[in-house]
Amino acid sequence: QVAHGTPSGIDNSVATYGGFLAYTKGSEPQNLHSQRALRVIITNTNVPKSTKALVAGVRVLRNAHATVVDGILESIHNVALSAMSLFESSSKDSTIEPQLQDIIRLNHGLLSTLGVSHPSLERIRDITGARGLASKLTGAGGGGCALTLIPSDIAEDTVELVKRELAEEGFQCYQTVVGSAGVTVTRTVGNEPVQAWIGNMLSRNLSLAPDTNSNSEDPFGGIVSAFAILPDAAIARLAPSF
């Protein structure tokens, strides 16, 4: 609250639960149950900002021009709904990246209209846009970081070139993945995840072979899953016997 004034809690929620979440003030975060993960570049402008001050600035603007600002905010809301629809309606094998690039550009343009962009953020958009990439401010804007989507069909040489060009401007780049798993707890036998240990145990001691053509997370026809749900005490008793 010291940093954000009225925090939504979405940052810690998505870090904990992973995937993609949709949030509307006054409601619980909604898990979009997306089966995909997206590669992105997070670029730090190294420009300090105050979320509280930026939000307050938008509030002042709205007080002066309520009808106009409310229309912009409604458009931002519709952009978010469009993104939600893409994640919810697309399978893991389909690409939503072209539509997401449009949404990213629209979202940033609308936010910039509210006065929360910064010359450093616009410079990042110029550099990445020249290489066909879409970028937008993150958080409250005013500096801080920008997010750039890396399409799956882009050449790695182009990604590295963009990162070098951003670094030459004094920005710090971090390539990462969003939409992956959040906090997980992995049960182990020794240093081996329990599912892997069970699979190896079945192969070594019972001469069972996994189905290499199976798309299931359990190529042993459910045997690994059945053993994996046993309580820790039962697993501990099984381990020494094998």
Give CA–CA dist 133/155, Å, rounded. 12
**End-to-end Cα, the chain, rounded Å:** 53
> What is the secondary structure of 77-131 as a DSSP string?
HHHHHHHHHHHHH--TTS--HHHHHHHHHHHHHHHHHTT---HHHHHHHHHHHTT
Question: Annotated catalytic residue: which of 11, 70, 102, 211?
Answer: 11
Active site residue 11: yes
Q: Write out the H or E segment, with its range, that includes residue 72.
A: helix 66-89
Tokens of 167: 């670094």
What SS3 class is residue 40?
Answer: strand
Q: Which residues are catalytic?
A: 11
